[in-house]
Amino acid sequence: MPLDWSPFVHWVRRHQHFLLTTHVRPDGDGLGSMLALADVLEAPPLSKTVRMTVASVLPPRYDFLDPGRRIRRFEPPGDLYRDADAVIILDTGTWDQLGDLGPFLRSLPLAKVVIDHHLTQDDLGALRMVDAAAEATGRLVYEAILALGGPIPASAAHSLFVALAMDTGWFRHNNTTPATFTLAADLVRAGARASEAYECLFEQNTPERLKLMGLVLSRLQVTHGGRVAHTEIHRDDYATTGATPQDSEDLINYTRSLAGVEVGLLFMEQPHGGVKVSFRSRRVDVARLAERFGGGGHRLASGAVLQTSLDDARRRILDAVAEALDNY
């Protein structure tokens, strides 16, 4: 059932100074959704003041969406954002995905809205506009913009196309429906430039990213009778290759691309300790697996961070995956 956006519309009208954010290690859905909504909020007739920030390094891969560098990296104590009277959190509903911005938001009496399509949600003290059936947060932002009165500017349409395309694997994943293509067509009619977006996203790799990709592929292992594939990124790989953590985006997909693999895993040692694990699956509910380790996400695409060593994280996750496979 479609969301009733009237509470959101009334909420927007009551506020003037907006802070928009998305999760750490932002992706195309989070960034595209944020930029599109900012374009509409700032433009007449709404004419709101908008600032955008993320508590993470911004991936150079998405520079083409924000040539004016409107999105800034959040740096505590966050004095630049204290004049906001409302915050919109996009593409996540959990505190741990907000990084250093989370404590800042807890400290201020800000009115909050979450616009998200993930199953895992914390109580952020926000109006929740959440629909886990949506293929991308970009769809929900599209609906929100229409509810606010539209029309959709060409810049917003382009950002939303990127959001939609990236969260559906460029319309390959099983969350892609006929409605997805209808929305994509609507966005192209509104000014999205699909071929330009594809070239910027997939045909502009750096040598450093390709070197990191080579290491990831060289470590690929297939286990559990060919049903699981996993690989890893070590902490010193970034210094070795010159890549950045943002260059790891999409590398998880190689694990699930192998014939016969049902669950793909990418283990990434974090710069300040711990191991981030990305899960991809063809049918196993990896969101439930990730939740066992304090993470979450979608049924077939999730993640978690374990505060332990790489060897221990690998062992624990593979044991949990084996148990899940035994139940299918």
In terms of DSSP bridges, do strands 301-306 and 275-281 run parallel, antiparallel, or are they unpaired? Answer: antiparallel
The token pair at 76 is 């505590």
What is residue 53's three-state secondary structure? strand
Contact between 16 and 85 under an 8 Å Cβ cutoff? The reply is yes
Residue 255: pLDDT above 70? yes
Average of per-residue pLDDT across 199-220: 95
Per-residue pLDDT band at 259 (split at 50, 70, 90): very high
Per-residue pLDDT band at 156 (split at 50, 70, 90): very high
Q: Which residue carries 């939303």 as its tokens? A: 160
Q: Work out the mean pLDDT of the chain and round it to a whole number.
A: 95
Terminal-residue alpha carbon distance, the chain: 30
Closest CA to 311 of 232, 237, 254: 232
Determine phi and psi for 160, rounding to 5 degrees: -70, -30
Q: Please, which residues have CB within 8 angstroms of residue 4's CB and are 6 or more apart in sequence?
A: none
Contact between 306 and 316 under an 8 Å Cβ cutoff? The reply is yes
95-149 pLDDT tens trace: 989 999 999 999 988 999 999 999 888 999 999 999 999 999 999 999 999 999 9
- Percentage, residues of the chain above pLDDT 90: 86
Q: Quote the pLDDT of residue 173.
A: 87
Q: Quote the pLDDT of residue 181.
A: 98
Q: Please, which residues have CB within 8 angstroms of residue 281's CB and are 6 or more apart in sequence?
A: 256, 262, 263, 264, 299, 300, 301
CA–CA gap between residue 66 and residue 72 (Å, rounded): 10
Residue 328: pLDDT above 80? no
Per-residue pLDDT band at 150 (split at 50, 70, 90): confident
Query: What is the number of other CB atoms lying within 10 angstroms of the CB of residue 196?
Result: 12
Per-residue pLDDT band at 249 (split at 50, 70, 90): confident
Q: Quote the pLDDT of residue 1.
A: 67
Average of per-residue pLDDT across 154-163: 98
As a residue count, the chain comes to 328
Q: Quote the pLDDT of residue 119.
A: 84
**Entry pTM:** 0.86
CA–CA gap between residue 253 and residue 249 (Å, rounded): 9
Q: Quote the pLDDT of residue 2.
A: 84
Q: Quote the pLDDT of residue 326.
A: 85
CA–CA gap between residue 93 and residue 106 (Å, rounded): 14
> Is pLDDT larger for residue 172 or for residue 71?
71
Closest CA to 204 of 1, 31, 59, 3: 59
Residue 154: pLDDT above 90? yes
Q: How many helices (H) and strands (E) does the chain have?
A: 12, 12
Domains in the chain: ranges and CATH:
6-202 (3.90.1640.10), 207-326 (3.10.310.30)
Q: Which residue carries 């009619």 as its tokens? A: 189
